[in-house]
Structure 1
Amino acid sequence: MTNYIDKSQQPLLGNDAVEPTTPQGERWRASMWKFLLFSALGLALFIIPFKWEGKVTILLGVLTDTLQASLGDYVVYAALAIVTLSLVGALAVKLVRPEIHADSMTAKLFDVDWFWLAARFFGALFAWMIYLQVGPEFIINRNTGGVIFEDLIPILIPLFFFAILSLPFLTDFGLMEFLGTLASKVFVKLFRLPGRSAVDAMSSWFGAASIGLLVTMQEYNKSYYSQREAAIIATTFSVTSIAFTYVVAKTIGVDNNFIFFYLTIALTGFIAAIIMPRIPPLSLKPDTYHSGKSMLDEGIPAQYSTYQWAVNRAVTRAHSMPSLGSVFKHSLKNLFDIYFGLIPVIFAIGTIGLGLAEYTPVFDWLSAPLVPLLELLQIPEATKAAPAMIMGFADMYLPALVGKSIESEMTRFIVGAASITQIVYMSEVGALILKSNINLNVLELFMIFILRTLISLVVITSVAHLLY
């Protein structure tokens, strides 16, 4: 590090002719410490796994669990308040049409189109029906709306609280620039993506799918990713965390083989990540940017090594950041936007999806063409496995809940692993993508889900036949 802070000379990476905003002298040292300390905090919160109370988790997971335990039953009232305020505010803006500035907080939170207004209406309606236990069993049953209200929402509310407020430490103080520069050549060649998307992948693998997706949404809104790149990252790298992967393995009864289970998922995800960006619908997405032009330049000047340029860009980024107060204020706005925009959608879409799975043969019909493929792959109990795999589109946990009754351990291994590698599920990831500015619709998400399922089946089944 001494090469970069020697008082006798300008910093090696601080050449104004190359990067006009690169800090010099004392400002270089201060910005370097800013990059190192805040990025270390971001890594500690989102990336670095450790064992806590008998399970592998991350600091963000510990904070989330602690807040969830502290809130207890009050998280239910928080959820009801969120969906109610979300609907009332949107209705007021839509019907009263007050004079509001397009860039104001009120417009950001409540000025929505009719589709999202309908989603907020049904989200609030379902939430109150489930809470009061009034209405059709399709909505209020413990295995439908109850899963959303009692299992998913109590985790997401505290998770989003810490994740959104602390996300800038991961994305805005130079870590994305540093790792992105180092990984740029690999990610461009293998996945047709910018190097900074490596951070998205890590924050998903060690944190949660929603965290990685929040990073992707933020980077797209800042025009660091094109629409094509954001769509690929959102549907390819938003893998669930190691911790939740273990929960799925335990639920479906293959936790005794967890190491091979997770390695199989990693191999499958890697292969799918190479294939998916090269085929429709992802390959057809345009390389257009949210602001109209790209804000990203990952080229490395000839006079710099890759590592030197990575440090230069990281320090320059840290130097350009405003005060922590301004960062916190902006993050707080994003937090309320996620709460009011996403929580009602999860209630609406998630409850309907789980209701269809529990009370209708829709998933049996949809999975019928899958049965011959499963039989061709010599998967035992193919007729039971097929619906479980298709149910993953509604919620990632559904295949594990349904698949645990399958007798064949090999089939349970395949169903459980596929549920993780499918990635797109409407109760959370799908809803978050639809809420974002990334231009993917439900039909495209379903096409991506099916393609990922087919790729996953071939890879996972090949490994399963070697293990069993």
Structure 2
Amino acid sequence: MNEHFSKTEMPLSRKRYVLGVSRFIFFTSIAILIFFIPFQINGNTEILFGFIYNTLIDFFGIVGIWMMTVLILTNALLSVVGKFISKEGTKLHSHYAKDSKVYIPIYFVGAAYSILYTLQVSIPAFNGPEAIVGSGTGELMSGIALAVMWVIPLGAIFIPFFVNYGSIDFIGTLLQPIMRPIFKVPGKSAVDAITSFLTSSSVAVLFTTKLYNMKYYTKKEAAVITTSFSAVSIGFAAVVIDTAGLMDHFGKVYFSSFLVAFIIAFIMIRIPPLSLKKNVYIDDSAQTPEDRVAETYNKNTLGIAVNSAIDQAADANDFFKEIKKSLKEGLAVLPKVLSMLFAIGVSVLILAEYTPTFEIIGAVIAPFIQLLRVPDAALIAPSLALGLAEMFLPVLYISDMVGTLDVQARYFVTAVSMVQIIFFAETGAVMLSTGLPLKLWELIVIFTLRTLIAMPLVAIFMHLLF
């Protein structure tokens, strides 16, 4: 919706102009400092956002694990009350009313997994089922969930620095002529991609959710942006690339994956299920044709972008009100996100670790990979389906074979896993828990389509670069 841009047509008084400029510069500078500037901290290169949530994880230790479990268990119990017992119109009922009935048992499965793992690490005499609490299932999932537990409230605190004080309007106006015709989304969606690449995919999903709730994005745009631009961060990409033994080719691997991700986005937006999404806002009000018109670059573009940012910053609520509102929204979805993460994440990891499910899928797609002339196709095929569970699993699957696998095969697995985007140990669960217009079956279909489209594209780059 372009209401934020149209306001720039109104003249700004000197007082509002000064207020808008100062807010825009101050809050944008802090946001850039928090999210985008790397620092040398304790011998490691980190952004402040990552340093803060990692510090919180370390500080709380086992207490943090218990906090997470209490949130998951409380969510499961309240979901029953909110969905079936509480009266319509109450906050509790409203919070759970839109949840599918299928979510209730999922919440309880998540609670069971979390309790078992927490008891395992808290009580020496307790021995939970290895399939649930093992290093490749519960332990792996706990590490991811703990990070998300702090990423969501911290993201809720810092995201308003971008959203409410002009940055998003500035970038959105500048990039509208590119993003709208190519990807059929507003220019401001580029911020989601930048946030994801430089911080974390969970933060990008939360970023999109906030803008969707504020009627910046329609249901179609929110679904497209979330499933197309919430990519793996550059920091984690380095870990993945290193695990595949490709660190000496980092630039080629990372930037070719970056390009493939945008080519896939261009295609996915134009085919079902994303193409069938409606261009209506969260309140079902329709997007007008004028809202979808892409501006063209001209000599006034920069000035319009600046004025749009200043106007938005001047109109924003008091800083503490914005933070309080954003934090309230973030904390409201946190228990649902953690429940989904544990339930779906651990379940899929159990399938990956203890059943031949993904080997069977791999056997089906191996001939397709062979047609693309990818070396060691039969060996690497099962890894590609593992990305549905956790983004790191495909590369982890081939890590023991790094010394013997062809460099082209290692590149193929790494690049495909980096552009699949939807994995239920994190982004998939967050997408389902935050109220975005996406269903479980749609995410599975989108993951499958992204993988199928990615394979020939990555194969082309594989043959060109290696």
Choose the corresponding residue for 1:19, options 9, 33, 37: 9
CA contact (8 A) 1:204 1:238 kept: yes
CA, structure 1 residues 363+301, in 2 after alignment: closer, same or farther (shift >3 Å)? Answer: closer
- Cα RMSD for the two superposed structures: 2.5
Choose the corresponding residue for 2:301, options 289, 302, 306: 306
Determine the C-alpha separation between the residues in 2 that align with 1:302 and 1:392.
39
SS at 2:422 equivalent:
coil
TM-score (norm 1): 0.89
CA contact (8 A) 2:177 2:297 kept: no
1:382 aligns with 2:372: no
1:323 aligns with 2:318: yes
Superposed displacement of residue 108, structure 1: 5.5
Superposed displacement of residue 113, structure 1: 4.7
SS at 1:57 equivalent:
strand
CA contact (8 A) 1:181 1:298 kept: no
CA, structure 1 residues 374+461, in 2 after alignment: closer, same or farther (shift >3 Å)? Answer: same
CA contact (8 A) 1:60 1:207 kept: yes
SS at 1:456 equivalent:
helix
Determine the C-alpha separation between the residues in 1 that align with 2:286 and 2:22.
28
Q: Name the residue aligned to 1:12.
A: none
CA contact (8 A) 2:151 2:202 kept: no
1:190-248 CA deviation, whole Å, 9 max, x = no partner? Answer: 11111110111111111111111111111112221111111111111000110000111
Q: Name the residue aligned to 2:256.
A: 264
Superposed displacement of residue 415, structure 1: 0.8
1:233-287 CA deviation, whole Å, 9 max, x = no partner? Answer: 1111000110000111122222222121111211211211222211222112111
1:2-59 CA deviation, whole Å, 9 max, x = no partner? Answer: xxxxxxxxxxxxx999634x54112211111111111221222223445545554322
Superposed displacement of residue 74, structure 1: 2.1
1:421-464 CA deviation, whole Å, 9 max, x = no partner? Answer: 11111111111111233322222212211222122222222222
Determine the C-alpha separation between the residues in 2 that align with 1:221 and 1:269.
26
Determine the C-alpha separation between the residues in 1 that align with 2:103 and 2:320.
31
Q: Name the residue aligned to 2:70.
A: 81
CA contact (8 A) 1:86 1:110 kept: no
1:279 aligns with 2:271: yes
One-letter amino acid matched to 2:58: A
Within-5 A mapping of 1:39-188: 39-53=28-42, 55-94=44-83, 96-97=85-86, 99=87, 101-102=89-90, 104=91, 106-107=92-93, 109=95, 112-133=99-120, 135-149=128-142, 151-188=143-180
SS at 1:395 equivalent:
coil
Q: Name the residue aligned to 1:365.
A: 360
Within-5 A mapping of 1:212-291: 212-291=204-283
Determine the C-alpha separation between the residues in 1 that align with 2:83 and 2:107.
13
Q: Name the residue aligned to 1:401.
A: 396
CA, structure 1 residues 27+114, in 2 after alignment: closer, same or farther (shift >3 Å)? Answer: same
CA, structure 1 residues 108+215, in 2 after alignment: closer, same or farther (shift >3 Å)? Answer: farther
Q: Name the residue aligned to 2:440.
A: 442
One-letter amino acid matched to 2:280: T
CA contact (8 A) 1:56 1:243 kept: no
Within-5 A mapping of 1:443-462: 443-462=441-460
SS at 1:200 equivalent:
helix
One-letter amino acid matched to 1:322: N
One-letter amino acid matched to 1:141: G
Identity of matched residues, %: 31
1:34 aligns with 2:23: yes
One-letter amino acid matched to 1:361: P
One-letter amino acid matched to 1:202: I
CA, structure 1 residues 402+376, in 2 after alignment: closer, same or farther (shift >3 Å)? Answer: same
Determine the C-alpha separation between the residues in 1 that align with 2:440 and 2:7.
47
Q: Name the residue aligned to 1:416.
A: 414
Unaligned runs of 5+ in 1: 1-14
Unaligned runs of 5+ in 2: 121-126
CA contact (8 A) 1:240 1:420 kept: yes
Superposed displacement of residue 135, structure 1: 4.9
CA, structure 1 residues 17+46, in 2 after alignment: closer, same or farther (shift >3 Å)? Answer: closer
Q: Name the residue aligned to 2:351.
A: 356
Deviation beyond 6 Å, 4+ runs, structure 1: 15-18, 298-304
One-letter amino acid matched to 1:279: I
CA contact (8 A) 1:87 1:117 kept: yes
Structure 1 window deviating more from structure 2 (256-265 vs 127-136): it is 127-136
Matched residue count: 449
Determine the C-alpha separation between the residues in 1 that align with 2:159 and 2:318.
15
Superposed displacement of residue 93, structure 1: 3.3
Superposed displacement of residue 161, structure 1: 2.5
Q: Name the residue aligned to 1:8.
A: none
Determine the C-alpha separation between the residues in 2 that align with 1:269 and 1:255.
20
Determine the C-alpha separation between the residues in 2 that align with 1:456 and 1:380.
17
CA, structure 1 residues 310+17, in 2 after alignment: closer, same or farther (shift >3 Å)? Answer: closer
Determine the C-alpha separation between the residues in 1 that align with 2:462 and 2:430.
32
Determine the C-alpha separation between the residues in 1 that align with 2:6 and 2:264.
42
Determine the C-alpha separation between the residues in 1 that align with 2:248 and 2:202.
27
Determine the C-alpha separation between the residues in 2 that align with 1:85 and 1:166.
26
Q: Name the residue aligned to 1:427.
A: 425
CA contact (8 A) 2:333 2:434 kept: no
CA contact (8 A) 1:223 1:295 kept: no
CA contact (8 A) 1:46 1:203 kept: yes
Q: Name the residue aligned to 2:123.
A: none
Determine the C-alpha separation between the residues in 2 that align with 1:382 and 1:332.
47
SS at 1:127 equivalent:
helix
CA, structure 1 residues 336+17, in 2 after alignment: closer, same or farther (shift >3 Å)? Answer: closer
Superposed displacement of residue 124, structure 1: 0.7
